[in-house]
Amino acid sequence: MSKSISRRQLLQWSGLSSASLLLNSCGSNLWSKEVGQAIEPLNQATQALLLTQKPVPEYSLEQIEPDKLLINTFAQTPQIDPAKYRLQIEGEVNHPMQLSLNDLQTMPLTSMVIQHVCVEGWAAIVQWGGVRLQELLRLAQPKPNARYVYFKSADGYYESWDLVSATHPQTLMAYQKNGQSLSADNGAPLRLASPIKLGYKQSKWVTQIMLTNQLMPKTGYWEDRGYEWFGGL
Ligand SMILES: Nc1nc2c(c(=O)[nH]1)N[C@H]1C(S)=C(S)[C@@H](COP(=O)(O)O)O[C@H]1N2
Ligand SMILES: [Mo]
């Protein structure tokens, strides 16, 4: 079991990973594949993903629609003590880890204004603030065989995403909504937010992120009840 990681380790690992990004972009012709793989903390497949992802145009702050984001929860809002909360990242990664809210909040904050679309027939322009999932995966270092990302939530909800969508620059693990701390009903302390997926893909109250090399029989709470798996926007 991994202990909660220190800020120093966090910075160390992120430093290592960005160094490898630089190495890979300018040094890939200089080293043989084997040497490259041995010194490379983040695998080439994942790095290639990071480089190909185009951002979706965002809205302006004036366009936010605070009243239009409806609470949509299949069960009940779970009670989570923010001080005890830990996000676990595990599965097909070189560095399984547990992050506290403080760990997450010392990482770079990304803010975006996007449209949230629910298949039940409503949509809302929302500002989300949080950490890029891409950044968390950079720290955890997906193994070369990792292809899917599972999200487990405190209310029993579960989801799975393809790794490409999960590493999109606008896929956030959000802890803010419209400039304020996320409310419990909207998924506090931590939820997924992304302009490339439908509402049901955006898990609230995420406690566990698990990378896998294949899709497991249960792909998602609503998918297992007939919704389409990719859920793209
Ligand atoms: N854990 C969890 N996440 C969830 C849900 C849920 O019931 N439980 N509902 C999903 C659906 S269908 C939508 S549209 C959005 C709604 O987010 P909101 O309640 O913050 O508006 O959360 C998604 N994430
Ligand atoms: Mo939804």
List the residue whose alpha carbon is closest to atom 6 of ligand 1.
Answer: 73
What pTM, to 2 d.p., does this model score?
Answer: 0.84
Mutate to test the pocket of ligand 1, among 73, 79, 178 (most ligand atoms within 8 A of CB): 73
Which H or E element spans position 132?
strand 122-132
Domains and CATH numbers, the chain: 57-222 (3.90.420.10)
Considering only CA atoms, which of 7, 19, 203, 193 is closest in space to residue 107? 7
Question: Which residues are placed with Cβ below 5 angstroms of ligand 2, an ion?
Answer: 72, 118, 199-200
- φ, ψ of residue 127 in degrees (nearest 5): -100, 125
State pLDDT tens for residues 169-201: 999 999 999 999 999 999 999 999 999 999 999
Around ligand 1, the residues with Cβ closer than 6 Å are: 69-74, 118, 153, 155, 157, 186-187, 199-200, 202-205
- φ, ψ of residue 98 in degrees (nearest 5): -125, 125
Considering only CA atoms, which of 217, 74, 216, 233 is closest in space to residue 153? 74
CB atoms within 10 A of CB 88: 17
pLDDT given for residue 6 in this prediction: 56
Q: What is the mean pLDDT of the chain?
A: 86
pLDDT given for residue 45 in this prediction: 66
Give residue 163's identity as a one-letter amino acid code. L
State pLDDT tens for residues 11-62: 444 444 433 333 333 333 333 343 334 444 566 666 666 667 889 999 999 9
Q: What atom of ligand 1 comes closest to residue 192's alpha carbon? A: 24
User: Cα separation of 80 and 84, whole Å?
Assistant: 8
Task: Classify 82 as helix, strand or coil.
Answer: coil
Mean pLDDT over 98-119 rounds to 98
% pLDDT > 70, the chain: 78
